[in-house]
Structure 1
Amino acid sequence: MFTIGEFAGLGRVSIRMLRHYDRIGVLRPAAVDPVNGYRLYRADQLSRLNRVVALSSLGFTLAQVRSILEGPIDVAELRGMLRLRQAELHTQLEADRARLTGVEARLRIIAQEGTMSTQDVVVKRVEPVRLAEMTATAASFATRDIGPVIQTLYPQLMRELDRAGIRPTGYGIAYYEAADDDSVVIHAGIMVDADPVADQAFRIGDLAGEQSAATIIHRGSMDTCEESYQALAQWTEANGYRAKGFAREVYVDYDPERPDDGVTELQMPIEKT
């Protein structure tokens, strides 16, 4: 048998944690020395320790861990539970990363208040284009909600176009519609030279042009697009215009493997106030 210190070293946990596991009944020692009260452990208890540490590290409470380990669960079921929880944590991690990126972008905007450049805004006519597009709904206009939807729609669209034998002829263009609640309908499109087709997962149609649009080039990942959008808004108001709906995003140069190198033109339809 091993003393608590030796067992802690073998299992790579703290003595304090082993004592806590004993108190709540998650992992009790194999024996307690009747003379000095020292806790003693067997090597085969490392198997249970591994399960306790893995489950608690994946976010299960120790009460849940005890319930899981005391129930009729085999190794395959435990492995499945761990993989499911692992996937949930990966999803949460990506959401937290997106949230952190959004916070950093807002902090940069706050730091630049009063100094944000709007000199790169260009007013121009936007010609109509034919798009193949797919749509989906995001929970809100927040970048962390928009991004995952866009990143899912475009690969799906490209697969469907390839299956239909239709080749893109130009840029990807995303545009938006407000839904009845806080959600937003996302149209992820790409320029094509093809007639509408029936019974497809995508739609081919013409996106109307605009007589006048304020445009700005955003460089970098769309996770930081708030800065460019706000520069566009400041220019629009400062020059006596008002927006006519939501801005479009024209992906002039975008590689999903290198989002930080992206070049996107934001096109906001405008009219004089």
Structure 2
Amino acid sequence: MFRIGEFSKLTQVSVRMLRYYDESGLLKPERTDPFTGYRMYSAAQIPVLNRIVYLRDSGFGVAEILTALESGRDAFIIEQLDKKYEEITGRIAEEHKKLEKITLARRELLHGCKMHYNVSIRSIPSCQVLSLRKVIPTYYAEGELWEELASFAARNKIAVSGQTFSIYHDQEYKENNVDVEICAYVEKPVESSGAIAYRTVEAVPFMACTMVYGPFSNIAGAYLNLARWLQENSRFKMTGQSRQIVHRGPWNEESEENYLTEIQIPTEQRVR
């Protein structure tokens, strides 16, 4: 048996933390001397302490550690570790988004909105597409839809022309649960299956279009420019669902600076 100080040296865990683990019920001493009150620990408790430490360092709280220890099953602990991994990964992704927004804000404050986005009105003809429409958690999950559509086309030997675009069906910007439809031009009719459908996308006589060069973070500036353009050209008003075409993106460009995205907003001429 070891006194708390000796146990602390052997395990490289401070006396303060050992006392905390005792008070929180995570690791009680093997016994407490009834006369001196000394906490006494055994070598058999070292593996339990090691488990407490790595769970703590993995981000587990006291209640979570206690639940894991009481389960007595390694499989349960591995499952909890996997959940914690996903939770931390999600938080890291959110922090990366914040860093991107900080970078964009600094750029605008330091240099102003110097990027020029040319807006043009084009007539977009109708087209036949293979489409997949779903409500997804966020816009960042759109890539999963493209993977699903590409997998379906490959399995069914469907020839697509390479031209693709996204339609955003929500009438407002939403941070979560966004209604997105992805579309790929097809050369001949195909049979629909579940959420994947062969359909005709209607023509748009007046589509306000602008090209966005560089990282996807530049898209916010493009929408700002579109807002200014619509205000200056008041004979047009927004209508219908906006579209987005990524002409060059992560799949065919190594550098974000070479990305090319087209934003399309349906409009109609106001009646005078």
TM-score tier, shorter chain, comes to 0.7 to 0.9
SS at match of 1:178: coil
Q: Which range is displaced more, 195-204 or 231-240? A: 195-204
For 1:9 and 1:256, the matched residues in 2 are separated by 53
Q: CA RMSD in A?
A: 3.4
CA contact (8 A) 2:192 2:198 kept: no
SS at match of 1:28: coil
Partner of 1:209: 203
Cα 1:213–1:43, aligned 2, differ >3 Å: closer, same or farther? same
Cα 1:25–1:231, aligned 2, differ >3 Å: closer, same or farther? same
Q: Which range is displaced more, 39-48 or 73-82? A: 39-48
2:129 aligned to which of 128, 131, 134: 131
Deviation by residue 1:107-160 (Cα, 9 ceiling, x = unmatched): 358638974545522332223332211111135xxxxx1111x11100000000
Partner of 1:194: 188
Partner of 1:142: none
Partner of 1:93: 92
Q: Which range is displaced more, 210-219 or 109-118? A: 109-118
SS at match of 1:17: helix
Q: TM-score, normalised by structure 1?
A: 0.78
**Residue 66 of structure 2 corresponds to residue 66 of structure 1:** yes
SS at match of 1:26: coil
Percent of residue pairs bearing the same amino acid type? 24
Aligned residues: 265
Partner of 1:163: 155
Note the 1:1-273 alignment, pairs <5 A. Answer: 4=4, 7-8=7-8, 11=11, 13-30=13-30, 39-69=39-69, 71-98=70-97, 100-101=98-99, 103-104=101-102, 107=105, 111=109, 115=113, 117-138=115-136, 145-148=138-141, 150-178=142-170, 183-199=177-193, 201-222=195-216, 225-240=219-234, 241-256=236-251, 258=254, 260=256, 261-273=258-270
Report the AA paired with residue 62 of structure 2: L
CA contact (8 A) 2:120 2:209 kept: yes
Q: Which range is displaced more, 216-225 or 113-122? A: 113-122
For 1:223 and 1:179, the matched residues in 2 are separated by 22
Offset of residue 58 of structure 1? 4.5
Report the AA paired with residue 219 of structure 2: C
Structure 1 residues without counterparts, runs of 5 or longer:
140-144
SS at match of 1:225: helix
CA contact (8 A) 2:169 2:242 kept: no
CA contact (8 A) 1:105 1:227 kept: no
